[in-house]
Amino acid sequence: MKKLLKWVLPGAFAVFASLQLFNPPRTNPPVKNDFVTAAHPPGDVAAVIHAACYDCHSYETKWPWYAHVAPVSWFIVSDVKNGREHLELSDWPADPRRAARQLERINEALDYREMPLKRYTLIHADARLTEAQRKKIMDWTDATAAKLRGAAKK
């Protein structure tokens, strides 16, 4: 058993150390058109969206220490990349039709309980939405999308 540990532990350490050479880049490009600045949500809605959504859906991602340790870093970078592809809060569309569609997507993701991801809320307590917070965001996104669609028709 001692011989096995003599080789397994250094081997496991060597594998772990070599994985660190393959860390993906963690980027935060410049913000182009911030959602909160462009859409003007009420303060409480903006605060909840910022806490629950911005880490994966904006260029303002806060990269925790474990986001620098492979293989965990691979999953985190992948989640942020996918999140930014689906909804980018740092490049909010100026076109009312596109903005309305984005708000509808937010509403739908919240309604179907797709967002925030369960694995994210496990270690980010401030991203856990209460039913009241979820409803408030959905009511605001629904009303704002309707206003934008009306403005686009004119």
For the chain, state the CA radius of gyration. Answer: 20
Which candidate, 30, 15, 21, places its Cα nearest to that of 68? Answer: 21
pLDDT (tens digit per residue) in 76-131: 999 999 999 999 999 999 999 999 999 999 999 999 999 999 999 999 999 999 99
- Which sequence spans correspond to the domains of the chain? 32-153
Q: Which residues contact 29 (CB under 8 A, 6 or more apart)?
A: 59, 90
Paired tokens of 120:
């994210």
Residue 76 is predicted with a pLDDT of 94
Per-residue pLDDT, 118: 93
Taking only the tens place, the pLDDT of each residue in 56-78 is: 999 999 999 999 999 999 999 99
pLDDT of residue 92: 97
Q: 116 CB contacts (<8 Å, ≥6 apart)?
A: 52, 53, 56, 124, 127, 128, 129
